[in-house]
Amino acid sequence: MAEEKFDTLRIHGGYDPAQHHHSATVPIYENVAFTLGSAKRGEEVAQGNVPDAYMYSRVGNPTVSVLEQRIAALDGGVDSVAVGSGMAAITYSILNVAEGGGRIIAPYDIYGAALDEFETLFPKYGIDFDLVDDINDFDEVKSVIKPDTKAIYAESVANPTTKISDVDGLAQVAHEAGIPLIIDNTFSTPYLFQPIKHGADIVVYSSTKGISGHGNVVSGLIVDGGHFDWAGGKFPQFEENEFILKSADHPKHYSFIDVYGKRAYIKRIRQKYLRLMGAVLAPFEAYLELVGLETITERLDKEVATSLKIANYLQTNPHVKAVYYTGLPDSDQYDLAKASFPKGIGTVLSFELDGTAEQTATVVDSVKLFLYLPNVGDSRSLIVNPIKITHREVPVKRRAASHITDQLLRLSIGLEDSDDLIADLDQAISTAFK
Ligand SMILES: *Cc1c(COP(=O)(O)O)cnc(C)c1O
């Protein structure tokens, strides 16, 4: 059969009803452990030599597994692992390449908690960051590549600016240096952008956001494209013999590369980070996410169309000084947006009021439909003032570059009627400028 397309995979990917009592929807396996059958099978399962066998739900669970395989299929990856949050996905993806020490290149305008982790926590574990002002300035990126640089990390679409990373170009820079490119694809979801198809090696998600899409589950995912070669000495953790992988099939050479080949990266996260550090995703959360994922196309098509309509409305409002949404024709990244994001750049946009900090607060207090909270990718529309809530971690001297001012408001667009949303913003802005 021909390779199935996105809309088929989001419904059926990774799931065969015949293996689950013919249940039409994915069952919730809310159990900790799985019986091993016999002493002989137990030994084989423990050695990881029985395909599709489960033993203990921290390491693998059939409900979670469907989500993992579905996301890998949607993103064109070879394997995926689900974890308890987007931050766990980022943390494990970085540790798995740079444990034991090394450097990572990333831009400043990344998710606030990731920036805080990169600047203040990872250095305590011997992992240092070369943070650049513009990740699309390849001369700047190349100038900070050092012998112990282990990866380039970026977001496909940054916030609150909705600035896009040139993933194709970055992948080339990374691969010339013999290092992988890790992309946080949270804002795009695999529906709007598939980083692996643009050359990225590893994709991480906060699936808390648009993938689950209903503001009801905290979760993360890591996907591996399976193209990066971890052999050659820069990543010794993939080439060391691992006692847990020793088996009759691999008596002498039993590194992650020997045993798992192209799947080494995800297998290693599962066996070393999920199994030993334990930020596991629960089966019920995976189930909620699978339900949300089934309607991703329809949700995002509508939310993207409404986002564009709202961006256009905001541009006509006399009290709005600037609108930040790369999907607008007058954006300086519009050509890249059109080429790389044919279905739209996303459901988040920001705008700056031509007023005072108090007037910004009045808009927040006056909206009736938009919920005031720090999240994105919900079916409800959301509003936040980044400088006070989501982007407090951004150092004061870095704020201007991302337009993080007292006048900036960020919107995440949901599934309500677009005219109602515009009317809500319009009355709130009118109230503030009365
Ligand atoms: C929310 C978010 C995260 C963190 O995800 P959690 O699920 O909240 O841990 C990471 N990256 C981006 C881009 C996000 O929006």
**pLDDT exceeds cutoff 60 at 307:** yes
Topology of domain 296-432 in CATH is: Aspartate Aminotransferase, domain 1 (3.90.1150)
List pLDDT tens digits, range 204-262. 999 999 999 999 999 999 999 999 999 999 999 999 999 989 888 889 999 999 999 99
pLDDT at 48: 79
pLDDT band at 335 (very low <50, low <70, confident <90, very high): very high
Asked if CATH classification 3.40.640.10 holds for the domain at 6-30+61-292, the reply, yes or no, is yes
Specify the pTM. Answer: 0.97
Q: Ligand 1 within 6 A of 86 CB?
A: yes
Q: Domain coordinates of the chain in residue numbers? A: 6-30+61-292, 296-432
List pLDDT tens digits, range 374-390. 999 999 999 999 999 99
List pLDDT tens digits, range 5-62. 999 999 999 999 999 999 999 999 999 999 999 999 998 898 878 888 999 999 999 9
User: Given ligand 1 and candidates 83, 85, 87, which is best to mutate, with the most ligand atoms within 8 Å of its CB?
Assistant: 87
**Closest Cα to atom 2, ligand 1: which residue?**
206
The residue type at 35: T
Q: Ligand 1 within 6 A of 292 CB?
A: no
Ligand 1 midpoint to CA 218 (Å): 9
